[in-house]
Structure 1
Amino acid sequence: MASGDQHFSAPADPPVVGGRLGLLVAHDFRQLFVADTISQLGAQVSLLALPLVAVLALHASTFEVGALSACETAAFLLVGLPAGAWVDRMRRRHVLIAGDLGRAVLLGSIPVAWWLHWLTVYQMFVVALLAGVCTVFFDVAYQSFLPHLVGRDNLVEGNAKLESVRAVNQIGGPTAAGLIISWLTAPFAIAVNAASYLGSALFVTRIRRREPRPERAPDAHLGREIMEGLRFVLGNRMLRSIAACTGSSNLFGSIATALQVVLLAGILRLPPWQIGLVSSVSAVGGLVAAFTATRVARRLGQGPTIWISIGATSPFALLMPLAQRGVLLWLAAVGGGVWSFGAVVYNVTQVSFRQGLCPERLLGRMNATMRFLVWGTMPLGALLGGTLGAVLGVRPAMWIGAIGGMFCFLPVLASPLRGMRELPSWGPSPGSDLLPAGAQAG
């Protein structure tokens, strides 16, 4: 094992949990839970407001809307790998606070520029890109901090509770966002998102458990640390299959989602509140999944849950390109809810598996490598969606995304995960400090 491995604090002892509240009785997890609740609500406002500013206020083209969507996730492709190595050198709690504050300042610049009549689509590109950089560091630190707070035995419950926050906000958030946008206009609604990140940072500061500052090994080298994370992920057949499945799903999903606001606002001419309501209906499935993911995994087995959850629900995304005013619109929204159910069950199961599989010292690099591989496809998909939408039309481009997404479960179906009811977790493994006990490099 490389020198300097012991400079990280040990993972948290599992909190004593029980009753209906479970992990929420633990003070530190509760602060993270509340912080996530606040920031997720604000993020739902921004998710709807940013493209609406581009479409309705700045009269952006279909390609520009796709490019804006690409800028929001391009940072995972540009800085995703080094972010993991940097996070492993820093206190993760500090990274969370800095990420929240950075996003608050960047998004706050949009309503200011609008009020001064200076706002352009190019400023929105820059804000989306830099806010994405903050999100990269926040997300890598966030996923790496959770095992430290709750212990590995509580990871599935912790991830499920945090996914429930996301699901609740995806239900109520878009409707609230549509109403706020109708009341304040889209540029000023983004100020709500900026304020939410300030609130999130405040609650993260209330987390009591501290990590000691990691000490850099004398021979530390950024490139070698990045490669160590890559070797851990790409050297394990199960992680490779998850990366291929999630990355391809995000690629095809981004083609469709980049154009969804263009379809609803530009073609169907729906008001903002109705667009928000469509998104809320689609998110109901995610809320149901957040409360049932643990039971689904227990009934089907962890490995089968990973491929069945996404394979069985992805065809329902075919309904959105068919959307028209009236019954077909709400049928598409319900189809989105079924797909959302599968996506949340998939995420809770595979993220908990990844966190439990990885040794403490590599958590940041493992999460960053996975985010690079699976979220790095999103800006490519958004750009491809904008290009296809401009050349072929919005609906044909969305069809391509929906049909392609139906086959993304094949890598995990072809992997050892297919029939494994119990997945391996990290433990002493003779002869290697990179492979988990009971697993083999593929």
Structure 2
Amino acid sequence: MNTGTATTGAKPPSLFRQRDFLLLFTGQTSSLFGSQITYVAVPLTAVLLLQATPFEAGVLGALGMLPFLLFGLFVGVWLDRRARRPVMIVADVVRAVALAWIPIAHVLGILNIAQLFAVVFVVGTMTVFFDIAIQSYAPGLIGRDRLPEANGKLQISDSAAQVAGPGAAGVLISALGAPAAIVVDVATYVLSSITVIGLPADKAPESEAAAESRSIRASIREGFAVIGKNPMLRWTTAAAVTINLFSGGLMAVFFLYLVHVGMGAAQVGLIVAIGSAGALAGALLTERLTGRFGVGSMLILSMVLPGLGYLVLAAVKGNSAAAVAAVAAGSFIVQFGVPIYNVNVMSFRQVYTPDGLLGRVTATARTGILGSYAVGSLLGGALGSAAGLRPTVLVAAAGTFAAALILLVSPVRAVRRLNDPSPEAEPDTAVQDQTS
């Protein structure tokens, strides 16, 4: 596996000319598009075919995120004790098999909502394993100095899938029915597993004896300790948890707010579509903007943009063409910053974490981030009921500005390139080496 690229004056060749990255990109791109189809097809299967109640639909949505909160920290410890590539292969195969059960059970006439719950939970659990494994495996495959570029290219795929995937899902579901459309996602997971099989094998980051000598609880503490002791990880994680807390609160009332001001389904759909286009534009420009203005500056900007978009949303009243255009522009601004945020937060974590701790640190950070989003959703719903929808949007805007302020007063703001750590991070390198 590649452990880095040599530092020379010449511009490195495109990642797409590297076989290993091309395999990884191909598998992940196909899987991302397939997942967008399932994202639409599974709820429609529940509602249209199984007559799911609103409560059952809510449970179905929650089961996709629940595995990360239940298992994320433990999976991080487990993955720091063994090779990651075999785990990725198994996770892809299990997800394919689990999803395949939906069209099979539908054809047999035995599909029910409990089976749908089980499939979503199994797929979510395997996604926990796969996501932590691939983020831990990628630095050794690509080289830490090219991680921002690689993450940026993968983010473009993710954003493109969000733009094109739902439309493709609509066509497939109309032609084949929701359960049959899920077969496409099954095929993408199979393709992903094949591409991962073609990647270089990796080894466990630390010896089995060294790993087993520590308890699970002690290993989890190490993940928290690395984030707490390294200023780059500490500040970026704190900002990420903060912005997800308030973003979760905003999204809890977003659609209710649009309906409250008088917008219909067609107008809401247009707003979401324009927001998705903003995400794609942000993904396409992330690498160029980050290279020009620096990682720290762009990460701060990515947290300011949602606040600006939320303020536009809070100012809108009524459902006039001007109001729809304003909200659509605000949605574009919000979503434009999302891929910039995703790429840089992930890259910070991968660059500043030793290989032997990547699983734990990734799991710790993502559990905190996803957990804060879930808590924010609950608080946003409660605040919307108690204080009203518009005040909730304003609170969410203030929270995103607070996240940007966290980074503005931190050493992160001075970081221009992730392969040139700022001096503030150097004292903690020895600490990381001791714990790995």
Per the shorter chain, which TM-score range?
0.7 to 0.9
Q: Offset at 1:326?
A: 6.6
**Match of residue 334, structure 2, among 329, 339, 343:** 339
Change (3 A) 1:186 1:43: same
Q: Deviations over 1:338-364 (max 9, x none)?
A: 212111112222222221111122122
The answer on whether the counterparts of 1:357 and 1:426 sit within 8 Å (CA) in structure 2 is no
CA distance, structure 2, for counterparts of residue 258 and residue 179 of structure 1: 28
Change (3 A) 1:67 1:91: same
Change (3 A) 1:10 1:193: closer
CA distance, structure 2, for counterparts of residue 317 and residue 177 of structure 1: 29
Q: TM-score, normalised by structure 1?
A: 0.81
| Aligned match of 2:127 | 135
Moved more, 24-33 or 358-367: 358-367
Q: Offset at 1:70?
A: 2.3
Structure 1 unaligned residues grouped into runs of 5+: 1-8, 437-442
Q: Offset at 1:86?
A: 1.0
Change (3 A) 1:118 1:18: farther
Percent identity over paired residues: 35
Change (3 A) 1:61 1:311: farther
The answer on whether the counterparts of 1:67 and 1:382 sit within 8 Å (CA) in structure 2 is no
CA distance, structure 1, for counterparts of residue 380 and residue 104 of structure 2: 30
| Aligned match of 1:358 | 353
| Aligned match of 1:281 | 274
The structure richer in helix per residue is 2
**Match of residue 284, structure 2, among 276, 284, 291:** 291
Report the count of equivalent residues: 424
| Aligned match of 2:223 | 229
Q: What residue identity is the alignment partner of 1:221?
A: S
| Aligned match of 1:75 | 67
**Match of residue 154, structure 2, among 162, 166, 170:** 162
Change (3 A) 1:87 1:21: same
Q: What residue identity is the alignment partner of 2:216?
A: L
| Aligned match of 1:212 | 203
| Aligned match of 1:100 | 92
Q: Deviations over 1:183-235 (max 9, x none)?
A: 3333333332222211211111122x221355312424322222111100122
Aligned ranges for residues 43-442 of structure 1 at < 5 Å? 43-207=35-199, 209-213=200-204, 215-218=207-210, 219-257=213-251, 270=265, 279-317=272-310, 328=323, 331-382=326-377, 399=393, 402-403=396-397, 406-407=400-401, 408-422=403-417, 425=421, 433-435=430-432
Q: What residue identity is the alignment partner of 2:336?
A: F
CA distance, structure 2, for counterparts of residue 159 and residue 179 of structure 1: 30
CA distance, structure 2, for counterparts of residue 117 and residue 18 of structure 1: 61
CA distance, structure 2, for counterparts of residue 384 and residue 127 of structure 1: 29
Change (3 A) 1:351 1:409: same
Q: TM-score, normalised by structure 2?
A: 0.82
Q: In structure 2, the residue corresponding to 1:210 is in which secondary structure?
A: coil
| Aligned match of 1:39 | 31
Moved more, 357-366 or 400-409: 400-409
CA distance, structure 2, for counterparts of residue 17 and residue 136 of structure 1: 39
Q: What residue identity is the alignment partner of 1:248?
A: T
Q: Offset at 1:163?
A: 1.0
Q: In structure 2, the residue corresponding to 1:30 is in which secondary structure?
A: helix
